Structure 1
Amino acid sequence: MLTLKYQRLELRLGYHFEDQRQLQLALTHRSHGATNNERLEFLGDSILNFIVGEALFKRFPEAREGQLSRLRSQMVKGDTLAELAREFELGECLVLGEGEMKSGGHTRDSILADSVEAIIGAIYLASGLDICRERVLTWFAPRLDTLSIDTSAKDSKSRLQEYMQAQRQPLPEYVVVAVGGEGHAQMFTIECRVALTKQPTSATASSRREAEKQAAVLMLAQLKID
């Protein structure tokens, strides 16, 4: 069963490990035992920062160091990596200790993000920098394509909150209106409600945080806030 799960994950990653034990190690959290993905995570974090930094350096030749650092931080932060992990449906493949399994570790952002970094480290060790770079840039392409030097460093929820404060209005309210699916496949529907309009916005995602962010994006657009 694990082998089949790994094969499906490899299809989503667009990369095949000749030895599936390399992938299994990358997915093994420290709660499972002494043999875990922490070293691969350390390596993958460094490689990811380099690959994304190099891509931004080439993409924005006029950008200053501070601008490049800010853009890279947006790309490699934990929230972004956790979103990527959910797109890969990585949670169902994690190897966790019993305590982490019971507490829902397969949906925890930090564990998902660390596992993405560990997979990057494993691909680097198995196939070298060129193949690793090609995979990482393919995974990040949709996000890189939306970037500009002027991209706001603040996420949609922060921007909406600051706008409401500037208007001396109550803070936005995020309400769970539906939860569907089971286990790792749960989907959350969130409504964003603000005092400036009677029309809430709603979004559905595999985590409450991501659904809230998407609902905030829709509310920013509805209020015509750039």
Structure 2
Amino acid sequence: MTEKLKLYTSPSAFPNPQRLRLFIHEKGIADQFDEIIYDMAPGGEQRKWPHLKMNPWGETPTLALADGSYLSETAGVVRYLDQQYPGRKIMGESALEQGQDTMWENRIWTHILYRIVTMFHVMHQGLGPKIELTSNPQWGEHCRKEALSHASLVDRHLSDGREWMLGGAAPTFADITLCTAIAFSKFPANATPLDERFEHLDALWRRWQTRASFKAAYADGGSGLAELAYLKN
């Protein structure tokens, strides 16, 4: 039997590992990995030397490959797995779809999700004193406004009746990043729930909740969202 690859990750409240978790469930390959769940806060296991030897940036997710090397950064890991494993190409089948998916995913990650992540870190000292070294509430409020501004543009894109960002019958990686952005915006400390502010983002969030991949990805009960507590195994 081939040994499963090890995936170093975190509870589903943390958006970057959760993007990868959603992807592997949507791809149907979640059973190909052993997940090692770090104590991200307050333990800060991702910033201790055993993990830093694998990923000097001290972030998750990190994928240990069969040849002893490591791959990190969510989009990089997803691109590798999407090409390496059979099944639907989550990042787009055609060259055009792949370009469109990358375009939208970059926009959502850079201007919405990363803004909310930055807000979380600089406003709330969310991961504790071992990790959080900067407090800047004013910058956090700026990031909140930026996230809401760009979320309105994505909401407008979805207003033509399409179910997913590329207009197809199934979600792509851009939809996965958008899903985790909505989830993290609803995290109690962030208090910027995109589904309450934007009609079409709310509809997309509800569509995700009907998918088996979503239910499996949030089954750890670690999302921090009371509305998803029923999914816990």
Same fold (TM over 0.5): no
TM-score w.r.t. length of structure 1: 0.30
TM-score w.r.t. length of structure 2: 0.30
Quick check: which one's helix share is greater?
Answer: 1
Structure whose CA Rg is larger: 1
**Higher relative contact order (Cα pairs below 8 Å, separated by 6+ residues):** 2
